[in-house]
């Protein structure tokens, strides 16, 4: 282990029979950093997460967490990690509070300590009023918050979140993000997988884009956007069944053109200028939108498809 | 130290799984009470009911009432049912439906701790239930011997065997439909294992097959213990039950590993 890295993985491979889910990735994560794994379903994010949570063994390559090898120090490593899995996997038969208390017991915390921490974390995740309810009666957002609270019972140095906001409504997402910012400020290292671009831009200091088991790009969100996209994007919609037919006519106006089923994207430096030029050429879209480039565009460029498909 | 030398067996952390199950059962006390009454109903209905019809029996030269014959068999059966239901149904639920085990594996616990913890839990339950059953046996006056107390460890051993078998079996279940297979195994075991009548009544070939049934070995062991008819073969019977238990636990731990940490 060198310097401040809390996690280092080199040429990490995960195979399931013939299928290679993770194809030799390299990752180094610093203490206190908020690091994202971005990619569509099936990109190998969850397999990677399971390896860096010291749950499943790599099929190849090396991994070191807190300078320890998960093959020999699994329990020690896991006692310092918090994991928020994709599926909540809460104890449906237990109350909200008991879910937290029992989880703390797995870390050999005393009954007094688990009670105190449960109270504290219920407050932190705004679940105090539901403390004695059965988990089954909670909304999706509340279950998610409870799962995060559960992952914090052992005061982890690294919190690993696998698609933390999938399936949540906007309010629930923002509340969750707010809690994650606070943890970050307290110095907790966050490792997040997501297929939401806005989430990655909001939360991550640095991220890797994964596609089909490999890392296709790495950097800070802003850097990636500068590197792989233009400053602005013009989105045009036409009354047509096939937007493809506009490709040739629009190509001269932009550095790059992407045709999606319902719209055409023009990658340009000044969106308003381009839009004026398009209108001047007597091309009349039914709607037009100029916006800043986002990670979504980076992803589209790198993998040739939209992320949410 | 033991855990390091035998990594298939699990560590002290398995006690946390015990604690977890106890916490869940506290919230579901009806299930706890039903586990107590079920064997009692067996004893009352079959034992007392058939006693009048059947009359006395000769077992190894000893004349005993039918209740005294059937009660150890009922004890073995209830130990089997309790252990199988808990390990198969509840473990399947945690393994494949609620994914509780996946959550537990994010803590210092290992897969083997979970498997061992579930077995320990089954044993704790068996300890309480079989004690209550033996008290009922004594209260109903169908034991002539104070040796009945040795049925207690015998019943706990039986629970160990069947909970390990159940744990191994449940890892092969794909859907709830597969549970019909459990009944398909459990019912003939229950009916043909010499719990209701001596297997000497069977044709020779059937008796030979039944001999391999762990429930038969358990019922025979408990019967011997309750009547105070000690015999070297009891050591063999206990050894057989322990052997099946270890095979079950080994398969369960391996399968758990494969399913939970692919």
Mutate which of A93, A100, A115, A136 to test chain B, going by most B C-beta atoms within 10 A?
A93
Collapsed DSSP state (helix, strand, coil) of residue B200: helix
Cβ contacts from A onto B, under 8 A: 72
The beta-carbon contacts of B139-147 under 8 Å, at least 24 apart in sequence, are: B140/B43, B140/B47, B140/B48, B140/B67, B140/B71, B142/B47, B142/B65, B142/B67, B142/B68, B142/B71, B143/B68, B143/B71, B143/B226, B144/B64, B144/B68, B144/B227, B145/B226, B145/B227, B145/B228, B146/B228, B147/B225, B147/B226, B147/B227, B147/B228
* DSSP structure class, residue A81: E
Give B-chain residues touching A16 at CB under 8 angstroms. Answer: 262
**pLDDT tens, residue by residue, B44-54:** 887 777 777 87
Average pLDDT in the A213-240 region?
89
Nearest Cα residue to A193 out of A165, A166, A167, A163: A163
**pLDDT tens, residue by residue, B75-89:** 898 888 888 888 888
Whether residue A190 contacts residue A183, with contact meaning beta carbons closer than 8 Å, is answered with: yes
Q: How confident is the model at residue A61 (pLDDT cuts 50, 70, 90)?
A: very high
Predicted confidence at residue B187, as pLDDT, reads 84
Percentage of the residues of chain A whose pLDDT score is greater than 90? 54
Task: Write out the two tokens for B171.
Answer: 């890892």
pLDDT at A308 over 60: no
Measured CA to CA, the distance from residue B107 to residue A74 in angstroms comes to 9
Show me where the domains of chain B are located. 2-260
- Ordered DSSP codes for A34-70: EEEEE--TTSSHHHHHHHHTTSS--SEEEEEETTB-H
Backbone angles phi, psi at A31, to 5 degrees: -65, 135
Nearest Cα residue to B7 out of B260, B257, B262, B259: B257
Give A-chain residues touching B100 at CB under 8 angstroms. Answer: 89, 91
pLDDT at A271 over 70: yes
Nearest Cα residue to A93 out of B95, B25, B104: B25
Whether residue A294 contacts residue A225, with contact meaning beta carbons closer than 8 Å, is answered with: yes
**pLDDT tens, residue by residue, A89-139:** 899 889 999 999 999 999 999 999 999 999 999 999 999 999 999 998 898
Query: What pTM did the predictor assign?
Result: 0.83
Predicted confidence at residue B238, as pLDDT, reads 94
Collapsed DSSP state (helix, strand, coil) of residue B43: helix
Q: How many helices (H) and strands (E) does chain B have?
A: 13, 2
- Answer whether B108 sits within 8 Å of A81, measured CB to CB: no
User: What residues in chain B have their Cβ under 8 A from chain A's Cβ atoms?
Assistant: 13, 16, 19-20, 23-24, 27-28, 98-100, 102-110, 261-262
Place of tokens 């707010």: A178
CA distance B258 to chain A (A): 10
- Answer whether A78 sits within 8 Å of B23, measured CB to CB: no
Indicate if the alpha-carbon torsion angle A138, A141, A146, A151 is positive or negative. Answer: positive
Cα A258 to chain centroid, rounded: 24
């Amino acid at each position: 282990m060198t310097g401040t890295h809390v996690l280092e993985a080199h040429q990490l491979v995960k195979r399931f029979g013939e299928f290679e889910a993770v194809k030799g990735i390299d990752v180094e994560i610093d203490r206190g950093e908020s690091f994202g794994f971005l990619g569509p379903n099936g990109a190998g994010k969850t397999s990677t997460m399971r390896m860096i949570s010291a749950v499943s063994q790599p099929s190849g390559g090396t991994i070191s967490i807190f300078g320890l090898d998960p093959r020999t120090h699994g329990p020690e490593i896991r006692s310092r990690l918090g994991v928020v899995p994709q599926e909540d996997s809460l104890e449906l038969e237990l109350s909200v509070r008991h879910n937290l208390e029992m989880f703390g017991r797995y870390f050999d915390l005393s009954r007094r300590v688990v009670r105190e921490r449960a109270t504290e974390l219920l407050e932190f995740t705004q679940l105090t009023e539901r403390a004695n309810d059965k988990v089954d009666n909670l909304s999706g957002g509340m279950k998610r918050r409870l799962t995060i609270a559960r992952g914090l019972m052992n005061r982890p140095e690294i919190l690993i979140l696998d698609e933390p906001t999938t399936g949540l409504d906007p309010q629930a997402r923002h509340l969750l993000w707010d809690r994650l910012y606070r943890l970050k400020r307290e110095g907790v290292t966050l490792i997040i997988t997501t297929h939401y671009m806005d989430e990655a831009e909001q939360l991550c200091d640095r991220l890797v884009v994964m596609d089909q088991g490999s890392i296709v790009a790495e950097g800070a969100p802003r850097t990636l956007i500068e590197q792989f996209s233009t400053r602005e994007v013009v989105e045009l919609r036409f009354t047509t069944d096939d937007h493809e037919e506009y490709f040739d006519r629009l190509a001269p106006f932009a550095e790059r053109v992407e045709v999606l089923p319902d719209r055409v994207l023009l990658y340009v430096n000044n969106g308003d200028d381009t839009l004026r030029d398009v209108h001047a050429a007597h091309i009349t879209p039914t709607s037009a939108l100029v916006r800043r480039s986002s990670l979504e565009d980076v992803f589209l460029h790198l993998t040739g498809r939209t992320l949410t498909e | 130290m033991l855990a390091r030398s035998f990594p298939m067996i699990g560590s002290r952390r398995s006690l946390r799984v015990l604690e977890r199950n106890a916490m869940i059962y506290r919230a579901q006390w009806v299930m706890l009470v039903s586990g107590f009454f079920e064997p009692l109903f067996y004893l009352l209905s079959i034992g007392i009911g058939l006693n009048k019809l059947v009359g006395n029996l000769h077992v190894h030269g000893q004349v005993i009432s039918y209740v005294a014959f059937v009660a150890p068999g009922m004890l073995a059966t209830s130990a089997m049912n309790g252990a199988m239901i808990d390990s198969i149904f509840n473990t399947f639920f945690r393994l494949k439906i609620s994914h509780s085990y996946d959550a537990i594996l994010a803590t210092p616990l290992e897969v083997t701790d979970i498997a061992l913890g579930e077995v320990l839990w089954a044993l704790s339950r068996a300890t309480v239930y079989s004690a209550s059953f033996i008290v009922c046996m004594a209260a109903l006056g169908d034991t002539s011997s104070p040796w009945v107390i040795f049925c207690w460890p015998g019943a706990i051993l039986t629970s160990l065997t069947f909970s390990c078998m159940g744990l191994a079996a449940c890892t092969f279940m794909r859907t709830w439909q597969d549970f019909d297979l459990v009944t398909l195994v459990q019912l003939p075991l229950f009916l043909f294992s010499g719990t209701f009548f001596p297997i000497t009544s069977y044709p020779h070939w059937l008796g030979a097959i039944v001999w391999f049934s762990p429930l038969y070995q358990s019922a025979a062991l408990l019967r011997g213990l309750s009547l105070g008819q000690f015999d070297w073969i009891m050591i063999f019977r206990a050894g057989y039950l322990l052997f099946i238990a270890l095979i079950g636990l080994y398969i369960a731990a391996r399968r758990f590993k494969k399913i939970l940490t692919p």
